[in-house]
Chains A and B, each alone.
Chain A
Amino acid sequence: MPTEWPDDSMEPPLDPRLARAVALLREPEPISAEWRAEVLTRARWRHRPARSRALVATLGAAAALCLAVGAGWWWRTSAAADHRAASAVRSAPPVHFAFSAPEARHVALVGDFDGWNPRGLPMRRAPDGRTWYVDVRLAPGRHVFAFSVDGGLRVDPAAPRAMEDDFGTPTSVVVVTSRGVN
């Protein structure tokens, strides 16, 4: 079998059995609607369109000009706000997330609290062998989340569904107060 040929059309043909095997390899892999929706949802969260970036940049420049006048006061109050937010997270009781998936190999918690990080927060399998769990401290407020079960997103059957996604991605809502889950 020669190594070089002038153009691709002159490439030697495959062995017949190998050619039959290649035909099988060319068979398409099915795409699940859930997987597709997850890709599109994550893309939407990660990227702002060009026009939106331009608008934000303009508004940001105007805001920076106003803030520059009271820079010292702004820094003091921002630092205080950061401290209060951090204190609120530290002092809030952890939120317990649990999901039943006895046959899963890997379950993780994903949500807006960490920018929908694809790795998520790994969950541990409970001694019963069926339940996966993780305890997370979240800032007070509304959070959207889901469970990544072997790569596929699942809602929390015990939590309200989030209705804000355009692509049908399954997500759930949890509302956290300073005293814990509402």
Chain B
Amino acid sequence: MTIACDAGVSPLGTSDAALVRRTLDGDARAFALLVDRHAPACLRYATRMLGERADAEEATQEALLRAHDALHGYDDRMAFRTWLFAILINRCRTALRQRTRRERRFVHDRDALARSTIDGDASAIDLRQDIERALAALSADQREAFLLRHVEQLGYEEIAAATGAGVSASKMRVKRACERLKLLLGNVGRADAD
């Protein structure tokens, strides 16, 4: 059975900080609300980052459990989402380091991928496959920054806090990722020329 979790604010309008306090006081349902609120975005990021649903589920689960263990150290001057994503980013980085070459799903011949031409009229399914392959061709740092900025829509200050990179470095990674993805997907000029 699959359920679609609504990541919005709970009907009672309880803030993340309040739910953290209630969790520390022993309210298990408060942590369940935090999971329901943030797990979908975490799983989405991990799936896009790792390219493998099973790995993403494991990394997300570990991140949520580590966050649960470390709640006593959470400082509500940082957004809970940013704090949780910092944990998740580290879990994903660990998963990538542990992954062996033979387990990669996507083409890792960057030259072949760069020469490939993508039909400008591709359906949504084709575009989805194309972007996933293109993401896999990015460096881990660029893919990480791009996903956090344009998919998870974090601000650059948040990205810097979550990744440990500076704001300028994060902007440069996103810029280079966008340029590379545009090339891989095939820009308008190349499609017209073909």
Which A residues contact B (CB, under 8 angstroms)? 1, 3-5, 8, 14-18, 20-22, 24-36, 38-40, 42-44, 46-47, 49-52, 118, 150-151, 166-167
Known A25-B48, A43-B64; further 9 A-B contacts with Cβ < 8 A: A1-B179, A4-B171, A8-B156, A17-B182, A28-B4, A31-B4, A42-B61, A43-B65, A50-B26
Q: Jot down 6 A-B pairs with beta carbons below 8 A, ordered by A.
A: A17-B120, A28-B7, A34-B1, A40-B28, A51-B26, A150-B54
Give per-residue flags for B31-46: 1 if the beta carbon is below 8 A from chain A beta carbons, else 0. Answer: 1100110011001100
The answer to whether B25 touches A50 (Cβ under 8 A) is yes
Nearest CB of chain A from residue B188's CB, rounded to whole Å? 7
Smallest Cβ-Cβ distance to B147: which chain A residue: A25
A-B Cβ contacts below 8 A, count: 135
| B151 located at the interface, meaning its Cβ lies under 8 Å from any Cβ of chain A in the complex | yes
| B107 located at the interface, meaning its Cβ lies under 8 Å from any Cβ of chain A in the complex | no
The answer to whether B187 touches A24 (Cβ under 8 A) is no
Nearest CB of chain B from residue A35's CB, rounded to whole Å? 6
Q: Taking chain B's interface residues, is the majority helix, strand, or loop, or is none over half, making it mixed? A: helix
In the complex, which residues of chain B have a beta carbon less than 8 angstroms from the beta carbon of A34? 1
Smallest Cβ-Cβ distance to B146: which chain A residue: A22
| B17 located at the interface, meaning its Cβ lies under 8 Å from any Cβ of chain A in the complex | no
Q: Of B47, B61, B62, B127, which is within 8 A of A21 by CB?
A: B127
Q: How far is the CA of A169 from the CA of B142 in the complex (A)?
A: 38
| B5 located at the interface, meaning its Cβ lies under 8 Å from any Cβ of chain A in the complex | yes
In the complex, which residues of chain A have a beta carbon less than 8 angstroms from the beta carbon of B51? none
The answer to whether A15 touches B182 (Cβ under 8 A) is yes
The answer to whether B61 touches A39 (Cβ under 8 A) is yes
Give per-residue flags for B50-62: 1 if the beta carbon is below 8 A from chain A beta carbons, else 0. Answer: 0001101110011
Q: How far is the CA of A137 from the CA of B173 in the complex (A)?
A: 52
In the complex, which residues of chain B have a beta carbon less than 8 angstroms from the beta carbon of A20? 127
Indicate whether A30 sits within 8 Å of B2 (C-beta atoms), given known contacts A18-B185, A35-B61, A42-B65.
yes
Smallest Cβ-Cβ distance to A152: which chain B residue: B57
In the complex, which residues of chain B have a beta carbon less than 8 angstroms from the beta carbon of A32? 1-3
Q: How far is the CA of A25 from the CA of B51 in the complex (A)?
A: 12
Q: List which B123-181 residues lie within 8 A (CB) of chain A.
A: 124, 127-128, 130-131, 134, 147, 150-151, 155-156, 168, 171-172, 175, 178-179, 181
Smallest Cβ-Cβ distance to A28: which chain B residue: B40
The answer to whether B128 touches A24 (Cβ under 8 A) is yes
In the complex, which residues of chain B have a beta carbon less than 8 angstroms from the beta carbon of A30? 2-4
In the complex, which residues of chain B have a beta carbon less than 8 angstroms from the beta carbon of A8? 155-156
Indicate whether A28 sits within 8 Å of B69 (C-beta atoms), given known contacts A14-B178, A15-B187, A33-B1.
no
In the complex, which residues of chain A have a beta carbon less than 8 angstroms from the beta carbon of B120? 17
The answer to whether A4 touches B61 (Cβ under 8 A) is no
The answer to whether B35 touches A1 (Cβ under 8 A) is no
Q: How far is the CA of A52 from the CA of B172 in the complex (A)?
A: 48
The answer to whether B178 touches A1 (Cβ under 8 A) is yes
Smallest Cβ-Cβ distance to B153: which chain A residue: A26
Q: How far is the CA of A50 from the CA of B124 in the complex (A)?
A: 49
The answer to whether A36 touches B131 (Cβ under 8 A) is no
